[in-house]
Amino acid sequence: MTYAEDRLRYTQGTTSVVERVSECLKRIETSTHNAYLQVLADEALKQAQESDERFASGLARPLEGMIVAVKDNISLKGARLTCASRMLETFEPVFDATVIERLRDAGAVFIGKTNMDEFAMGSSNETSAFGNVHHPTHPGKVPGGSSGGSAVAVAASTCHVALGSDTGGSVRQPAAFCGVYGLKPSYGAVSRYGLVAFASSLDQIGVFANSAADAAAVMEVIGGHDPMDSTSCQEPLPAARSTNGPRKIGRIGSALLKDCSESVVQAYEQYCERLINAGCTVVEIELPASEVWIPTYFILATAEASSNLARFDGVRYGLRVQGSADGEVDMITATRSAGFGTEVKRRIMLGTYVLSSGYHDAYYVTAQKARRVIADGYTKVFEQVDLLVMPTTPTPAFDFAANVDPVQMWLSDLFTVSANIAGIPAMSIPVGLDANGLPIGIQVQAPMFADADMLAWADGQSNATP
Ligand code: GLN
C-alpha cells in the first residue's frame, strides 16, 4: 500500500480517502499485533472527509489523504503521549510536534499512536509497558524496536507511512525485521520539537514506508529548519543529485560480517553483486573504529538519557506516587520506582554512573573522543565513495525472549548505531526473505545532508530490474 498509488486513485476517483481510512481502521480492529496504543478513528474519518472534499474541489495539498501512524513518543495534540511507559500513561500533550504540524498542513490523516519500547529503549518492543508488538507475519518473532509498532503498522497495511524515532537504529532495525523501508534522516534535517528526548545528540524522527518515494515525499514536507529546534539545520536541505546513474559504492569486509547469520551474509553478497551488474563500482571500505561503535553509543545514549529522563519526577508530567514518608524526595523516588520499567532504570543507572565525577573522564569523555574519530572517519570514507551499503541487522527477526541478556540485545544494534554517532543519513531497504520467510534489510548510508540523494538513489534501485 503506497501513497503514490493511492493518490492517483484519489485523483481518478477510483477510491476515496474515507474508504481507505475505513479499510485501515477495520484492519487495525481485527489485528492482533498490538501495534497501536491509541486509534484515532473519529478524527481520522473527519480528516479524511475534508481530504475528499479538497480532492473534489481541486485543492488537494502535497500529502492530501496520506494515512499516517505516529510513534507514541511524538506529540500529537488531542491524543495521549505515553512513550509506552506507566510514567506517562494518561499524559496529554498541549501542542503538536513540528513534524505533525507540517504533515497536518500538507493534508495528512493521523490514524493512531503506535506501540514502542518504553522511552524508545530497546530493540524488540519487549520493553513496552503495554505489551509486546507481534511480528506482522511470524507471531513468535519480535518486530524489532524501538519503533516496532510503527513498522508493523506499515507492514500490515494499516497506514501509508508511519513516523518513528531513531537514536541508534530504532527505525532501520524494525523496518528490516518487518520488510519495509525505514529512513533515519541526517541529524538536524528534521525538527525534534515535540519528540520526547531519549538521547538528544543522537535522536532523529524517521519514516517507515512501503517505498523510497513515499519516504522522500514525507521528508520533503517535514525536513528543514525549525525555529523551535536550535539543532535543526539552518540551510535548506540539498536536492537529490541530478544523475541517478551508477555510483561508487563502499561495502564492508568479512571481519564486520563475522557475527551475521548466513542468510544475511548471502543477501548482502547478492545485493553487492546486483549493484556491480547495474554498473556501480563496489569497493571494500574499512569503516572507522567499528570495534567501539557499540560501547560509544551506549555510553553517550545512557548519559544523555539519565539527564533527559530526570524531568519525570512526579511533579511536572504524568504519574505521581506518594512515598511512605512525607517530602518530595520520597515522592520522587516512589514515582520513578513505580513509573519506569527495568530497561529504563538500567539505562538511567548506567548513564548516571558514566557521568559521575569519578568516572566522567574515563567513560563519558573517552566516548566523546571516540565519537569524533568515528565521525571524522566517515567524512574520509565519503571522500572515496558516494554511498555505503551494509546489512541493517546481523540476523533476521529473532524470537521473543531470545535476548534476555541486555548486552546481547545491545549487540544486535551493531550496524545501526554508527550513523547516529556520526549524524549521517541512513536507510533500510527490504531486499527479500530468508528460507523461513523472514524479511532481510540492507542499509544504505550517505554523506551528511545527502538524504534526498540517498532516497532518490534507493527509489531508482527499486525500479531497476534485478
Ligand atoms: N536499540 C537501541 C537502544 O536500545 C536503539 C534505540 C533507538 O534507536 N531508539 O538504545
> What sign does the dihedral 374-377-383-384 (CA atoms) show?
negative
- How sure is the predictor about 464, in pLDDT bands with cuts at 50, 70 and 90? low
Looking at residue 324, what is its pLDDT?
84
Residue 406: predicted pLDDT:
86
Average pLDDT estimate for 328-343: 96
Give the residue-averaged pLDDT of 380-385.
Answer: 97
Instruction: Tell me the best of 170, 342, 414, 415 to mutate to test the pocket of ligand 1, counting ligand atoms within 8 Å of each CB and taking the most.
Output: 170
Q: How many residues does the chain have?
A: 466
Q: How far apart are CA 134 and CA 47, in angstroms?
A: 29
C-alpha cell at 264: 544475511
Statement: residue 293 has pLDDT above 80: yes
pLDDT tens digit string along 87-143? 999 999 999 999 999 999 999 999 999 999 999 999 999 999 999 999 999 999 999
Quote the percentage of the chain above a pLDDT of 90.
Answer: 93
Ligand 1 atom closest to the CA of 123, numbered from 1: 1
Q: How many CB atoms lie within 10 A of CB 212?
A: 23
Mutate to test the pocket of ligand 1, among 71, 85, 117 (most ligand atoms within 8 A of CB): 117
More confident residue, 403 or 334: 334
Give the per-residue pLDDT at 466: 44
pLDDT at 144 over 80: yes
Residue with the three cell numbers 524496536: 145
The side-by-side arrangement of strands in the sheet containing 248-251 is 36-39, 109-114, 67-71, 161-166, 204-209, 181-184, 426-433, 439-445, 387-391, 248-251, 281-284
- Whether residue 198 has its Cβ less than 6 Å from ligand 1: yes
List, by residue number, the catalytic residues. Answer: 71, 146, 170
pLDDT at 360: 93
Report pLDDT for 128: 98
Is residue 6 pLDDT above 50, yes or no? yes
Report the interhelical angle of 342-355 vs 293-308 (nearest 10°).
100
Contact 442, 413 (CB under 8 A): no
182 lines ligand 1 (CB under 6 A): no
Q: How far is the CA of 167 from the centre of ligand 1 (A)?
A: 6
d(CA 269, CA 246): 18
Q: Are 160 and 127 in contact (CB under 8 A)?
A: no
Atom 10 (ligand 1): residue with closest C-alpha?
121
Is any atom of ligand 1 closer than 6 Å to the C-beta of 188?
A: no
In this predicted model, which residue has the larger pLDDT, 319 or 325? 319
Place of cell 523472514: 438
The pLDDT tens digits of the residues spanning 209-266 come to 999 999 999 999 999 999 999 999 999 999 998 776 779 999 999 999 999 999 999 9
Q: Is the minimum distance from the CB of 73 to ligand 1 under 6 angstroms? A: no
Q: Would you say the CB of residue 148 lies under 6 angstroms from ligand 1? A: no
Between the CA of 453 and the centroid of ligand 1 the distance, in Å, is 26
Average pLDDT over the chain reads 96
State residue 163's pLDDT score: 99
Q: Is the CB of 169 under 6 A from ligand 1?
A: yes
| Contact 205 CB / ligand 1 (< 6 Å) | no
Q: What's CA 321's distance to the chain center, in Å?
A: 32
pLDDT of residue 250: 98
Domains and their CATH numbers in the chain: 3-222 (3.90.1300.10)
Residue-wise pLDDT for 163-216, tens only, equals 999 999 999 999 999 999 999 999 999 999 999 999 999 999 999 999 999 999
Cis geometry, peptide bond prior to residue 146 (ω within 30 degrees of 0): yes
Measured from the Cα of 170, ligand 1's closest atom is 8
The CA 444 to ligand 1 mean position distance, Å, reads 18
Mean pLDDT of 284-306: 96
Please state the atom number of ligand 1 nearest to the C-alpha of residue 121.
Answer: 4
